[in-house]
A and B are shown apart, each in its own frame.
Chain A
Amino acid sequence: MELQEHKFKVIGTRPIRHDGVDKVTGRAKYGADISLPGMLHAKVLRSPHAHARIKSIDVSAALALPGVKAVITGKDLPELPPGSQQMGELVVNPRYLSMNIMARDKVLYDGHAVAAVAATSPHIAEEALKLIKVEYEILPPVLDVRKAMQDDAPILLPELRTSGTPEKSDKPTNIASQVRFARGDLEAGFRAADVIVEREFTTSMVHQGYIEPHNAVAQYNADGHGTIWVSTQGPFSVRELCSHILQMPLGNIKVVPAEIGGGFGGKTTVYLEPLALLLAKKTGRPVKMVMSRAEVLRATGPTSGSYIRCKMGATKEGKITAAQVWMAYEAGAFPGSPVGAGCMTILAPYALENLQIDGFDVVLNKPKTCAYRAPGATNAAFAAETVIDELAEKLGIDPLEFRRRNGAKEGTAQPAGPQFRRIGYIETVEAIMNSEHYRSPLPHVPGKLVGRGVASGFWFNAGFQSTAIVSINSDGTANVVTGSPDIGGTRAACAMIAAEVLGLKAEEVNPVVTDTESIGHTDVTGGSRVTFATGYAVYEAAQDAVRQLKERAATIWKVKPEDVVYQDGVVSCVNNGHEPMTLKQLAGRLARAGGPVTGRAAVNPRGVGPGFATHVVDIAVDPETGKVDILRYTAAQDVGKAVHPSYVEGQIQGGVAQGIGWALNEEYYYDENGIMRNTGFLDYRIPTCLDLPMIETILVEVPNPGHPLGIRGVGEVPIVPPPAAIANALYRAIGVRMTELPMSPAKVAKAVLEKNKAPQ
């Protein structure tokens, strides 16, 4: 069955999400809401030092506290061989992962786990932590990405050698890897330019800031089987990572995904899960662990701070002739920053003949970074989109027109090589050009300096593996079972896709997210992949159910299956007088016509459609305090086909809000000893609803040719443009190019002051 866009009956509508009532009544069960009989509570002792050798750990006093049932340290975890391996879409180094969740001979960042205590109450576990004596030999920390790259920098991991270098070195280093993308003739490109702009940019570590702290409840049975209930983006990843870290057979671990209170990439790895399972094994009782907010900030993966140098040249006619980028990303204490993605996204919106991009993945004494919404791309776009803006300004060309002249389209080669298929970048630029927002004059705000800025962004989006089951109930309704935790409305999207194929209403399909034993392998809810890839599996599974339904009708009518047509939930026979049956009528007869119908599909789709976005923002700056107010914000995005437009808009609005926080407020603040000084939501300040206006969205629908319904991922790219768009607006407002994130009031006020002091 071919679904044509003009025929969509369910896709593109806005039904109430199926899990909604549970979530507005407080009934939905998140990980921390789960309790089991006899359950213990465990807490983690964390390093107060950024870099230190652990000389000894004495847990005897903690163990002696009444109510304490077990204490574990790094010695209780298996030693794993070095080396990385591919796990689904993740490249994981199990040894480093294990060292990250529990330190061995060294602590590598403030908050690094050192021991864990299980006790009969969380308060007793906390008291016990204070009784653990750890003797440290404090080592000098390294906190700046460029200093960490120097030859004389303190070394975090003695065995680390740089990968990706032309020549192999045996020198200890903090540079985990380097990567280069290059093509064309850089020097000739810059020679051909009439204008060249080169600037340096720095950005701070920022956290995903999900409201729900990490949690895990684990149970271990005498037969060697364990179960983990957890709020995670990837139950199958949790199973696989726990299997590696604890050296347990994968099939002996069952992971049950609880509802998840936000993740944005940060809940794609493990922190507590292996510890809870190990403590459950040691005590024979269920163990629950929940992080505090300070633990979330200190010890779970933020995204990289970075240093980026970006140089571009363009002709008078507004054609970019060359681009050169050098970028170093903070990986945190173990290798694995998203610098590769930064390299591959930074110039992707533009058609460039001559380019060179160098990227460096650098370890330093900060928490190991984890994915955060379009990982690596926002830092990169802040740099490139500011330089693009300045080039356009110097050439006297409208910044959107400049982007349109250079924008990537179908057939354009990406910096990493492959050509784009049909994409909608130029369409997003034009959508903003033609928007009421861009065409209206900047508002005047008394006493404030106002400015308007634009910026674009790119994100690959992901495919990866998904499994789905669509079963037909005897009343003609259907159930959709997947393994993709629903982090923002994907149950509804999956149900709508099945409903579209089956000719049902969205409300007649029950979407279910199940555990790792009840569905085939499904990769993480991440990479903007669920509606695309799990939705693809649901589409195929629903088609499989339709094929079976046609066969059953053929059996009942004693005709060939190919003579049966399934359309809008009705089966009919093409060439004789059988009365058509509704799905409800047919479903009621299945028991006597071959039994239940269950469609299934497992996919690893290749036709991922990348996401592009272009944003415009109006700001007002208080010249006295440097505070920036967002007056108006409009985001245009190529969303392929919006399955549930409200949740697509919601992804864009949420991504923009995070991007605004990144631009103006958010940063990991470390003192000179490497101790994080803003470990709560009061000081790590994410935007509140008083900080933001309504966020206008323009959904540009350029169908993805790689998906039967035209679907592209939508979740990540909206975070990419905001910092650059706001920096460009700030330039219009105060006349200074801001090159450091966050553009906090103090920095903006200083820039205004210096600008006013400078000779005109």
Chain B
Amino acid sequence: MANKVYVETTLNGETVEFLCEPRQSLLEVLRDVLGFTGAKEGCLTGDCGACSVIIDGRVVCSCLVLGVEAQGKTIETVEGMARDGQLHPLQQKFLEHAALQCGICTPGFLVAAKALLDRNPNPTEHEVRYALAGNLCRCTGYDKIVRAVLDAAAVMRGGTHGVTGA
């Protein structure tokens, strides 16, 4: 397949090499080439945020990025959030607050929320809502998601990382 392009990128802290067609989106590469199916396809038009990943510190819709654009970039996906068998505080708080129902939007929300807390460890409710407005959830009405993010931020500010009791 001479029409494939060689790409080297950093995915969740590890160097990854892959071949992809120029027309393949980063979302398609992550899911179908690399087997990272945590990012979900909800719309392919950048409207729902289910495919959110962090590239070089910025949250983006991976359906709007080409796979070849990953060359030399640093990419974080939901699969990289838990470390050493410990859930990220956001993951833990999503569980404790019942911030997911069907769960299809959850990876995107977690990634977008991580990008928010990475740059603003003490967001207001409005700032959380603003930061997550690019992620659609049809199940929860967002109430418990926003609470989970605010609670996770508080825990992270307090220096408590990893799993905490329910």
List residues of chain A with CB under 8 Å of any chain B CB: 14-17, 19-21, 23-30, 32-33, 35, 123, 208-213, 259-264, 290, 292-293, 487-489, 644, 646-647, 649-651, 653-658, 680-682, 686-690, 692, 694-695
Contact = CB atoms under 8 A, between A and B. Distances in A.
A367 B116 CA distance: 40
B136 interface: yes
B115 interface: no
Contacts of A290: 41
Contact of B138 (A210, A260, A292, A293): A210
B43 A680 contact: yes
B11 interface: no
Nearest to B104: A261
Chain A contact residues, majority secondary structure? loop
B97 A211 contact: no
Interface in B111-158: 128-130, 132-147
- Central interface residue in A24, A290, A646, A690, by most chain B CB within 10 Å: A24
6 contacts: A24-B100, A649-B98, A654-B141, A680-B43, A690-B129, A692-B141
A208 B47 CA distance: 16
Contacts of B42: 211-213, 261, 293, 681
A212 B41 CA distance: 7
Interface string B86-110: 0100010011111011111111001
Contacts of B44: 292-293
B87 to A, nearest CB: 7
B98 A17 contact: yes
Contacts of B41: 32, 213, 290
Closest 3 CB pairs of A and B: A26-B38, A261-B104, A23-B103
A27 B23 CA distance: 27
Given A15-B166, A26-B77, A212 B144 contact: no
B18 to A, nearest CB: 16
Contact of A28 (B103, B141, B147): B103
Given A209-B138, A658-B138, A689-B142, A680 B45 contact: yes
A682 B50 contact: no
Interface of B: 21, 23-24, 31-32, 36-45, 47-48, 50, 77-79, 81-82, 87, 91, 94-98, 100-107, 110, 128-130, 132-147, 166
Chain B contact residues, majority secondary structure? loop
A694 B44 CA distance: 29
A487 B102 contact: yes
Nearest to A680: B45
Contacts of A23: 100, 103, 106
A681 B138 contact: no
A442 to B, nearest CB: 21
A33 B139 CA distance: 20
A33 B95 contact: no
A644 B166 CA distance: 14
B103 A259 contact: yes
Contacts of B129: 689-690
A92 B102 CA distance: 27
Contacts of A262: 101-102, 104, 138-139
Nearest to A653: B141
A23 B81 CA distance: 13
A686 B105 CA distance: 14
Contact of B38 (A25, A647, A650, A651): A25
- Central interface residue in B37, B79, B103, by most chain A CB within 10 Å: B103
A695 B129 CA distance: 14
- Central interface residue in A259, A264, A680, by most chain B CB within 10 Å: A680
Given A213-B42, A290-B41, A681-B136, A26 B95 contact: no
Given A14-B98, A24-B87, A264 B78 contact: no
A261 B101 CA distance: 9
B79 A26 contact: yes
Contact of B47 (A25, A32, A680): A680
Given A261-B104, A646-B144, A26 B39 contact: yes
